[in-house]
Amino acid sequence: MDFKKYVTDKLKELTGLDEQVISSSLETPPDEKMGDLAFPCFVLAKVMRKAPPIIASELAQKFENDEIIDKAQAAGGYLNFFFNRAKYASELISAINRAPEAWGKSDIGEGKTVLVEYSSPNIAKPFHIGHLFSTAVGNSLARIYKHLGYNVQSLNHLGDWGTQFGKLICAYKRWGDKEVIEKDPINELLKIYVKFHEEAADNPSLEDEAREYFKRLEDGDEETTSLWSYFREVSLKEFQRVYDMLGVKFDSYNGEAFYSDKMDEVVDILRKKGLLVESEGAQVVDLSDKNMPPCIILKSDGATIYATRDIAAALYRHRTYNFDKNIYVVGNPQALHFKQIFEVMRRADWEWSEGCTHVGFGLVKLPGKNMSTRHGDVVFLEDVLNESIEKTREIIEKNSPDMEDKDEKAKKIGIGAILYTFLKNSRDKDIIFSWDSMLDFEGESAPYCQYGYARGKSILRRAADIDYSDADMSKAVSDDEYTLIKQLNSFSSAVLDAADKNEPFYINRYVTGLTKAFNKFYNTCPIMKSDVDLETKKARLALVDAVCRVIKTALYLLGIETVESM
């Protein structure tokens, strides 16, 4: 039952106010002692020609002897509602039990398609720690939108085209050893790529040679195309190992190269619409009226650039998927680029471009580390994940030496700790990498939430012989129990907020709050003690079961796995 809807309908009946006005006016009081919902009666003052406190008092009397509202209380100009706790608890726990994996789901996305582009590493370059921000946010958003009923397509727009491949081919032809590369593809390709830049500093003619190789690649030369395909193949194989560790899957790996033959049409469309103007030999779209630099479509030598490719990609996606939303999870430094291409698409009269959204994020800060692959100073993501797993293994070994399945649990907890860190704040904030805070089992961290889940599952295993399916929830309505129950009910709002703002941290914050409320309940409401009567045990076990289900679902939406025991 929707208790807010019940209050809304009742107030509509009593006041004649519009349902939307009432619903949007209802508030959650800042203090639970003030009730579950509050309605400000000021909106009725002019209509009823009475002071708000008088209106609140008169309306309160209309809710006497109500089965759903235990008490309606006037407080100044507000009317505070206290739900029937037993009814509320019973309705909620039953609803969660009916849809254990689907709690918090919605049908708002039914029949709609959302594209989420994320991760997008560069071929033949390291999958570094900076890529995790995009991967973590994008994967979480994809899961969130699926939870809301959308048809979601996860896209990995690989950086697999451009002059850097001319440089890599040049480097490979001079210093590459296929046998060595096969053993450690990314590292070895990075080495020769770095060597190219070192050598080119003293021998600028190498840059001309690299441009010639890329020209051959663009022209479809068999040898250079074969090398490019090889670099792409071995890189994807390496990337897949990291994606498997993170539990990330993509529906498409179409990268920049895929759109290389689709850009001429874009140029023609923009030219026919009169959008292209010449600027220093280049063909651009003038955006000065929007206080933006011109968007370059063709360079002075006639070559296209990544803006042209991104516009071609958007057009292809519209035709292929007919999307409602096309989300680009790309770092904040690219914000201007996306503003430019979205504006160009708008001027091309592509109405569907309104569904294109840039979801930016901050930087990853590691003391003393510079992530420029050009100079080779880079922190490999796989190394960070493995180190987190190893550190978690050490903590487990120290604190729980007899724990079963240590390796599997260390992997889930270690990787979950990193993902939580990348998602716990607004994505615009920079990430300050700290092992101590990430692997804290007591603070705001993935291990803290995972431990709360494991503690709940441990209680349920101890109570395996108790059937709580018919629990009388009126036995679990103390303040701490009721706070926990209300937390469960707010999950769907957290999911909707996360999707509405493309901010997974709403779910992160929710699951942390739920775990805190559960730990308080655990410490104040004994469950399996001998002096607890059977009916109270059943009610509290039903509550524990519901909490575990919701923690697991919430963590899943963040890309984090749970463990059954810790």
* Residues with catalytic function: 125, 128, 131
Q: Give me the sheet containing 69-75, strands edge to edge.
A: 37-40, 78-83, 69-75
Question: Exposure of 357 by Cβ count < 10 A (0-12 exposed, 13-18 middle, 19+ buried)?
Answer: middle
Question: Which stretches of 36-126 are assigned E, i.e. beta strand?
Answer: 37-40, 69-75, 78-83, 113-117
Q: How many alpha carbons lie under 13 Å from residue 105 in its C-beta half-sphere?
A: 16
Residue 231's identity, in one-letter code, is F
Contact 455, 545 (CB under 8 A): no
- Please choose, from the candidates 121, 238, 119, 219, the residue with its C-alpha nearest in 3D space to the C-alpha of residue 166: 219
Contact 136, 243 (CB under 8 A): no
Question: Exposure of 272 by Cβ count < 10 A (0-12 exposed, 13-18 middle, 19+ buried)?
Answer: exposed
- Please choose, from the candidates 36, 35, 39, the residue with its C-alpha nearest in 3D space to the C-alpha of residue 21: 39
Place of tokens 């769907």: 492
Give the span between the Cα atoms of 521 and 551, in whole angstroms: 15
Question: Exposure of 481 by Cβ count < 10 A (0-12 exposed, 13-18 middle, 19+ buried)?
Answer: buried
- Please choose, from the candidates 308, 279, 304, the residue with its C-alpha nearest in 3D space to the C-alpha of residue 293: 279
Helix (H) / strand (E) containing 282: strand 282-285
Question: Which stretches of 84-130 are assigned E, i.e. beta strand?
Answer: 113-117
Give the distance from CA 210 to its chain's centroid.
39
DSSP state of 325: E
Contact 540, 525 (CB under 8 A): yes
Helix%, strand%, coil% for the chain, nearest 5 = 60, 10, 30
Give the span between the Cα atoms of 260 and 257, in whole angstroms: 5
Contact 80, 37 (CB under 8 A): yes
Read off the tokens for 157: 């727009």
DSSP state of 16: -
Give the span between the Cα atoms of 515 and 126, in whole angstroms: 36
Contact 334, 363 (CB under 8 A): no
Those residues whose C-beta lies under 8 Å from the C-beta of residue 376, and which sit 6 or more positions away, are 190, 191, 194
Residues in the chain: 566
